[in-house]
Amino acid sequence: MPQPYGGAPIAFLLLSLGLLTGADTPEGRFWFYSLRMIYVFWMLGFGLFRYLTCRDETERTRMARGRMAFVVVAVLAALVVAEDALLFLVLRTDGFMLGPILISSERNYAENLLFLAGALLAIGYAVRSLALRFEKPPADESDERAARIGDNLLIYARRHGLTDRESEVLRLILQGKDNQNIASTLTIAPSTVKVYVHRLLQKTGCENRQGLIQDFWRSA
């Protein structure tokens, strides 16, 4: 899929450099610091646009799983802007004491929470992905793994033009079954399974079964 948003980081960098020259005033500091959250809102907006314009129900279901993360990031980003607005535009100060707590532009608590939430979300996703994508899948398939296979198999099959039978063979390969077990499950001859596996490798451009498994999870 083409990536139309590749220029966004460059635009963010150029705007940051431009705003840096005027960061010696409260208004200038507000816009310089808020630009980071504007970039976050742009990414959230792009994600929402992709969800609303997506016609593939399977892919929409996958994206919908991130709705809680979407809301958390949006709320925290809004709090970051509100905290900066309070300091720079309302109070026009770099910091003040709220009881024993120092509220300052250099210690934006909402921004710290945002980065912490982002780190926890990234770690959680990485742990789940590593558990699902390691090279040799376990014989006992978890419910989560089965759900991920089911969701991604439709998209992967459409992308490579797989038939229903080829998709079913691929599903069993992803479950760690060998040709004999696949043949028994589908009540077909092992030689027929070999033909399907050969077609799968041809259509996906993979060299072997292990490469096919890795390619599936890489694109999931």
Same-domain status, 126 and 163? no
Say what the pLDDT of residue 145 is: 64
Say what the pLDDT of residue 78 is: 94
Same-domain status, 72 and 92? yes
Same-domain status, 211 and 111? no
Same-domain status, 78 and 108? yes
Say what the pLDDT of residue 131 is: 64
Compute CA distances 131 → 135, 170, 196, whole Å: 10, 19, 28
| CA distance linking residue 130 with residue 18, whole number of Å | 41
CB 67 within 8 A of CB 75: no
- Contact partners, residue 83, CB within 8 Å, separation at least 6: 103, 108, 109, 110, 111
Is 1 among the domain residues?
no
Q: What is the pLDDT along the chain (220 residues), one digit of tens a residue?
A: 344 456 777 888 888 888 877 777 888 888 888 888 999 999 999 999 988 998 877 778 878 888 999 999 999 999 999 988 888 888 887 766 677 776 776 677 888 899 899 899 888 877 766 665 554 454 445 556 666 777 788 888 888 999 999 999 999 998 888 999 999 999 999 999 999 999 999 999 999 998 898 888 877 6
Is 123 among the domain residues?
yes
Same-domain status, 89 and 192? no
How many separate domains does the chain show? 2
Domain range for 213 is: 143-218
- From the list 102, 112, 110, the residue with the least C-alpha distance to 84 is 110
Single residue among 106, 133, 160 that ends a domain in this structure: 133
| CA distance linking residue 95 with residue 88, whole number of Å | 9
Single residue among 133, 158, 173 that ends a domain in this structure: 133
- What's the pTM? 0.57
Same-domain status, 115 and 180? no
Is 55 among the domain residues?
yes
Is 186 among the domain residues?
yes
